[in-house]
Amino acid sequence: MKSVVAIVGRANVGKSTLFNRLAEKRKAIVIDQPGATRDRNYADGDWYGKPFLLIDTGGFEPVATEQILVQMREQTELAIEEADIIIFLMDSRDGLMPGDREIARILRMVQKPVFLAVNKVDGPRHEWLVPEFFELGFEKVYGLSALHGIGMDELMDDLAACLHPAEEESVPEDQETIRIAVVGKPNVGKSSLVNKILGYERTIVNQLPGTTRDAIDTLLTVGDRKYLLIDTAGIRRKSRVSLTLEKYSVVQALKAVERCDIALVLIDAEEGVTEQDAKIVGAVFEKGTACIIVVNKWDRVAKDNQTVGEYVKDIKDKIKFMDYAPIIFVSALTGQRVVKIFDLVEKVYGQYTKRVSTAELNKKLGEIVAQNPLPRFHNREQRISYATQASIKPPAFAFFVGHPQGIHFSYERFLLNQFREAFGFDSVPIRLFFRKKR
């Protein structure tokens, strides 16, 4: 079991910069604005062969009364509870603040290793700022610069001595972790759905649109299958993304779509499919990610025998390019049909990773072309020499022909539909490529 290391401290002391430094990636939002990180954010870290799980947290304000700040404090308290080791980060330029004293008081009651680090010590000229922090009564204070990497070795060498020994995880070779991203415009219930699936408040739930800003990863197991659940920031229309911070959030959400296998695109049942919903689905489509349309807040809709059918028709009319995506109606609030999402995920993932043998593929292709021959090109007959499946995630097929430029879009669409029906790819994207035969 990996040790869990949590980074805590007041807002804007550089926690996310330190998180990115230790994770060796730009995963957390880093911006010179207090409160940029709100939820706990997780990443794997490693220090000379000793792995650990790193948690970035929102700014800890011990005496905050505003609801969102109270929830940020609660998330930080959860991180402290989850952690085996804590890095308490402060800002050398600010000096010792009352908030730092309160956090130190709380951490002294925690029976866990606490490493006191003072950030933004960018060189010898700033070292004189560090001694003030010994007043908190900790045995050692580490002066460092998370931005420039100064002083990291001493902190991490000492911290590594407290890490659990590395253990190899026993995972069956045939068992994959399915990566699921929960995406959608702000305030459609993404975090509520994640919390309902997990059974506890893993992410902040607040009526304020845009509460989740980073992409938040959580591992879970359902039956014998492992899943990585990614809760993302709400994606707004460009004209509505006025704050620089929200622009970063959109990038994080789109990156989450890139690294997931299946995107759960949430739609507000009361609003129906909006222009922004269609754009989000379009972004998922362009990246070749499998998709499930999740209509949330279904408990708030007045229904009769035709409601579902009319709703499905409306969705398919507005996102014709992804009419293959399964649709499920749920309520994250009541839990209605939430567990059935995983049945759809298994079905979609099975198709998303399916391979068709070259022999089977070309046999069926011969039957399809005999039924509807390729159009002539420059008054010459065209024929497909052979086809092969090039990849999975999404399933992609390469066709070798004399003149690839002579394949009309309408015929490509015909082949795509035939392949869906013939090989059981009715719920996932398919890519077709036409190459000039040698």
Integer Cα distance of 253 and 233 in angstroms: 6
Same domain, 325 and 192: yes
Task: Judge whether residue 113 has pLDDT over 90.
Answer: yes
Task: Judge whether residue 379 has pLDDT over 90.
Answer: no
Give, for 98, the enclosing helix (H) or strand (E). Answer: helix 98-108
What value does the mean pLDDT take over residues 363-371? 93
Structure tokens at 181: 């991203």
What value does the mean pLDDT take over residues 18-22? 91
Same domain, 64 and 113: yes
Within 175-306, where are the H helices?
190-198, 244-259, 275-286
Same domain, 258 and 317: yes
Task: Judge whether residue 31 has pLDDT over 90.
Answer: no
Question: With b meaning 16 or more CB within 10 Å and e meaning fewer, what string describes 32-52?
Answer: eeebbbbbbbbbebbbeebeb
pLDDT at 219: 86
Which is more confident, 68 or 432? 432
One-letter amino acid for residue 303 of the chain: K
Of the candidates 96, 200, 115, the one whose C-alpha atom is nearest the C-alpha of residue 161 is 115
Structure tokens at 135: 């007043």
pLDDT at 71: 60
What value does the mean pLDDT take over residues 270-289? 88
Task: Judge whether residue 322 has pLDDT over 80.
Answer: yes
Q: What is the mean pLDDT of the chain?
A: 83
User: Quick one: pLDDT band at residue 247, thresholds 50, 70, 90?
Assistant: very low
pLDDT at 298: 96
118-153 pLDDT, tens digit each:
999 988 888 899 999 999 999 999 999 999 999 999
Count of domains observed in the chain? 3
Q: Which of 31-40, 79-88, 91-100, 156-165 has the lowest mean pLDDT?
A: 31-40
- Asked, for residue 171, whether it belongs to a domain, the answer is no
Task: Judge whether residue 306 has pLDDT over 50.
Answer: yes
Same domain, 195 and 136: no
At residue 360, φ and ψ (nearest 5 deg) are -65, -40
pLDDT at 404: 87
Integer Cα distance of 106 and 96 in angstroms: 16
- Asked, for residue 417, whether it belongs to a domain, the answer is yes
Same domain, 30 and 50: yes
Of the candidates 281, 291, 276, the one whose C-alpha atom is nearest the C-alpha of residue 236 is 276
Structure tokens at 319: 């996102």
Contacts of 352 (CB under 8 A, 6+ apart): 261, 262, 290, 392, 393, 394, 395, 428
Same domain, 201 and 243: yes
Q: Please, are residues 6 and 80 in contact by the beta-carbon 8 Å criterion?
A: yes
Same domain, 17 and 94: yes
- Asked, for residue 407, whether it belongs to a domain, the answer is yes
Q: Side by side, which strands form the sheet with 50-56?
A: 41-47, 50-56, 3-8, 85-91, 114-119, 141-143
Same domain, 423 and 347: no
Task: Judge whether residue 29 has pLDDT over 90.
Answer: no
Task: Tell me the three state secondary structure of residue 263.
Answer: strand
- Examine the fold and report which residue of 352, 387, 421 is the final residue of a domain before the chain moves on: 352
pLDDT at 168: 47
pLDDT at 251: 47
- Asked, for residue 165, whether it belongs to a domain, the answer is no
Domain CATH for 54: 3.40.50.300
User: Quick one: pLDDT band at residue 26, thresholds 50, 70, 90?
Assistant: low
Structure tokens at 328: 């499920």
* Residues forming a β-bridge with 143: 118
What value does the mean pLDDT take over residues 407-423? 93
- Examine the fold and report which residue of 352, 379, 402 is the final residue of a domain before the chain moves on: 352
pLDDT at 76: 65
pLDDT at 242: 42
Same domain, 16 and 132: yes
- Using the structure block, give the residue that is written with the tokens 């993304």: 241
User: Quick one: pLDDT band at residue 249, thresholds 50, 70, 90?
Assistant: very low
Task: Judge whether residue 241 has pLDDT over 50.
Answer: no
Q: State percent of the chain over pLDDT 70.
A: 80
- Asked, for residue 299, whether it belongs to a domain, the answer is yes
Q: Side by side, which strands form the sheet with 290-296?
A: 216-222, 225-231, 177-183, 262-268, 290-296, 327-329
pLDDT at 411: 93
pLDDT at 414: 94
- Asked, for residue 78, whether it belongs to a domain, the answer is yes
Task: Judge whether residue 78 has pLDDT over 90.
Answer: no
- Asked, for residue 292, whether it belongs to a domain, the answer is yes
Same domain, 145 and 196: no
User: Quick one: pLDDT band at residue 332, thresholds 50, 70, 90?
Assistant: very high
At residue 346, φ and ψ (nearest 5 deg) are -65, -45
pLDDT at 41: 66
Integer Cα distance of 129 and 43 in angstroms: 31
- Asked, for residue 202, whether it belongs to a domain, the answer is yes
Same domain, 7 and 146: yes
Integer Cα distance of 5 and 63 in angstroms: 24
Q: Are strands 85-91 and 141-143 parallel, antiparallel or unpaired?
A: unpaired
pLDDT at 222: 86
Q: Which of 34-43, 137-146, 379-388 has the lowest mean pLDDT?
A: 34-43
Length of the chain: 438
- Examine the fold and report which residue of 352, 374, 396 is the final residue of a domain before the chain moves on: 352
Task: Judge whether residue 183 has pLDDT over 70.
Answer: yes
- Domain range for 249 is 177-352
Same domain, 428 and 337: no
E-strand spans in 232-341?
262-268, 290-296, 327-329
Within 119-243, where are the H helices?
152-160, 190-198
Task: Judge whether residue 434 has pLDDT over 60.
Answer: yes
One-letter amino acid for residue 119 of the chain: N
